[in-house]
Amino acid sequence: MTYLTSGAEATVKVKGELIVKERVPKRYRIRELDERIRKERTKAEARLISEARRAGVPTPIIYDIDNSTIKMQYLDGTAMKHVIDENLSEQTGILVAELHMAGIIHGDLTTSNLICFSDRIYMIDFGLSFNDSSIEARGVDVHVLFQTFESTHHDYRALIDAFSRGYRHTCDNSGEVLERVKEIEKRGRYA
Task: Pick one of 1.20.1260.10, 1.10.510.10, 1.20.120.530, 3.30.1490.20 as the CATH number of 78-189.
Answer: 1.10.510.10
Name the pTM for this structure: 0.92
As a whole number of angstroms, the distance between CA 86 and CA 113 comes to 17
- Told to judge if 108 belongs to the known catalytic residues of this protein, a careful annotator would answer yes
Annotation: CATH topology of 2-73 = Phosphorylase Kinase; domain 1 (3.30.200)
Q: How far is CA 75 from CA 60, 79, 182, in A?
A: 7, 10, 34
Q: Taking a C-beta distance cutoff of 8 angstroms, is the pair 97, 169 a contact?
A: yes
Which one is catalytic: 66, 76, 85, 108?
108
- In tens digits, the chain (191 residues) has pLDDT values of 665 677 778 899 999 899 999 999 988 999 999 999 999 999 999 999 999 999 999 999 999 999 899 999 999 999 999 999 999 999 999 999 999 999 999 999 999 999 999 999 999 999 999 999 999 999 999 999 999 999 998 999 999 999 999 999 999 899 999 999 999 988 866 54
Domain parsing of the chain, residue ranges: 2-73, 78-189
Same fold, 2-73 and 78-189: no
Dihedral sign of CA atoms 19, 13, 121, 182 in order: positive
